[in-house]
Amino acid sequence: MKYASYWHDSAVPFADGQQGPVEGSFDVAVIGAGFTGLSAALKLAKAGVRVAVLEGAHVGAGASGRNGGHLNNGIAHGYAAAKAHLGDARAHALYHAYDRSIDLIEQTIAEEGIACDFRRSGKLKLASKASHVAGLRANFELIHAEVDPDTAWLEKADLAGEVGSDAFHGAMLYRKSAMMHMGRYVNGLAAAAHRRGALVWENAPVIARKQVQGGWELQTPRGALRAGRVIAATGAYGTTPTLKYFRRRIISVGSFIVATRPLTDAEAADVMPGNRTCVTSLNIGNYFRLSPDNRLIFGGRARFSSRSDQTSDAKSGLILRRSMASIFPRLADVQIDYCWGGLVDMTKDRFPRAGEAEGMLFGMGYSGHGAQMSTLVGHSLADMAMGRDTNPLAGMDWPAIPAHSGRPWFLPLVGMWFGLKDRLS
């Protein structure tokens, strides 16, 4: 078993990074070479803007290359809860922003010729308990009536053709949702941005920034560059003292994933006959899908930890194997080829944010749904850098989290609370 992301291990790495020192003057500098930063860089470069990307590790090293591979439309919260929190108009607009971002991903893949196995698979939100059916169905009826007629309700009997398990009691189908190979997409974005003129420095973490005449100077261990505007696109991987504004607003939470050996065609058809992305209804639930080579990619919160390293990932992998076996008993002894984790950039209300703070444009706080939204946010940040306002998240206040200085000491308590809610629901 490899303690490595399947998406990284099965994709050709980006090979066009700058080899020399970090130097030069640019119109825009982007911190972070994930979906958000590279989408912004690609759009800027296509518009003729001089743009540089600074990445602390390698392209896609953070959440963009360490996720479950889902492009699920809709809002993670119940839609009624989103309306209560945001108001009808903003909840409606946010719902459709996720739709637009998946459309934009599909368009980008076609325009740039990125081979990443994109497919409109549809998503199932699965009721893990009989007691969850009424609430999930009410959410479906509201969404279907107000914002997304391209949805359907599936009774328990309908699930036989979708998921090879008796563990679920009904489901909501979102037909617009999609899936793709995340590693091939992020490396393809980097190659496209480079081809259009963006310069990408890997292994160049920003260790200091200071305001200078005409903009900012960003310092890295490999040198420094200057830029008129700066875009921060780092999520949970950028809550460093250099970007201290985000430390009190982002909660870094580990999410963990395992991938089985490639299943035979018969096994894959038995386990996932519908071949969709799937998410369960528990607070500490699971998400799963088949990979392009028929592996079951199975993830979840597993443990409420802010660490993602081999020790933490291994502990979580054992929990995930048990969860997988409870849903798919026939896979109880299947070989696990990959086990990895990643940090999710959660906000207190679990809604993403984009805007401007401390002289920087930013897009982050995706709260586990960045693969869907980040491409649209990246485009919007590029527009903002060019003086145009297309921000789908404009006007959303983002107060600091009380008693939070960047180290989420309270995560075990949160895990206990959600675990209790799951047991009592």
Mean pLDDT of 172-185: 98
* Residue 155 located in a structural domain: yes
* Residue 31 located in a structural domain: yes
Q: What does the pLDDT read at residue 237?
A: 82
Mean pLDDT of 200-215: 96
Rounded to the nearest 5°, which phi and psi values hold at 115? -85, 100
Q: What does the pLDDT read at residue 208?
A: 95
DSSP 8-class letter at 302: -
Domain count, the chain: 1
Specify the higher pLDDT residue, 309 or 170: 170
| Band (419; pLDDT cuts 50, 70, 90) | low
Mean pLDDT of 106-120: 98
* Residue 78 located in a structural domain: yes
Range of the domain at 367: 6-385
* Residue 269 located in a structural domain: yes
| Band (422; pLDDT cuts 50, 70, 90) | low
Q: What does the pLDDT read at residue 122?
A: 98
* Residue 97 located in a structural domain: yes
CA distance 23 to 217: 10
* 349 in Cβ contact with 393 (< 8 Å): no
* 313 in Cβ contact with 256 (< 8 Å): yes
CA distance 57 to 65: 12
24-61 pLDDT, tens digit per residue, is 999 999 999 999 999 999 999 999 999 999 999 999 99
CA distance 35 to 362: 13
346-371 pLDDT, tens digit per residue, is 899 999 999 999 999 999 999 989 99
Q: What does the pLDDT read at residue 183?
A: 98
The CA dihedral of 93, 97, 98, 99, to the nearest 10 degrees, is 100
210: left (phi over 0), alpha (psi -120 to 50) or beta: beta
| Band (323; pLDDT cuts 50, 70, 90) | very high
229-287 pLDDT, tens digit per residue, is 999 999 888 767 678 889 889 888 888 999 999 999 999 999 999 999 999 999 778 99
* Residue 267 located in a structural domain: yes
* Residue 359 located in a structural domain: yes
Q: What does the pLDDT read at residue 214?
A: 94
| Band (413; pLDDT cuts 50, 70, 90) | very low
Mean pLDDT of 92-114: 97
Instruction: Supply the CATH number for residue 288's domain.
Output: 3.50.50.60
Contacts of 167 (CB under 8 A, 6+ apart): 128, 326, 327
Distance (Å) of CA 235 to CA 78, 215, 231, 314, 383: 24, 23, 12, 24, 20
Mean pLDDT of 108-130: 98
CA distance 227 to 154: 52
Q: In this model, does residue 186 exceed pLDDT 70?
A: yes
Q: Which token pair is 95?
A: 């719902």
CA distance 425 to 421: 6
Kindly report the pTM of this predicted structure: 0.94
**CA angle, 278 then 296 then 415, to 5°:** 60
| Band (310; pLDDT cuts 50, 70, 90) | low
* Residue 304 located in a structural domain: yes
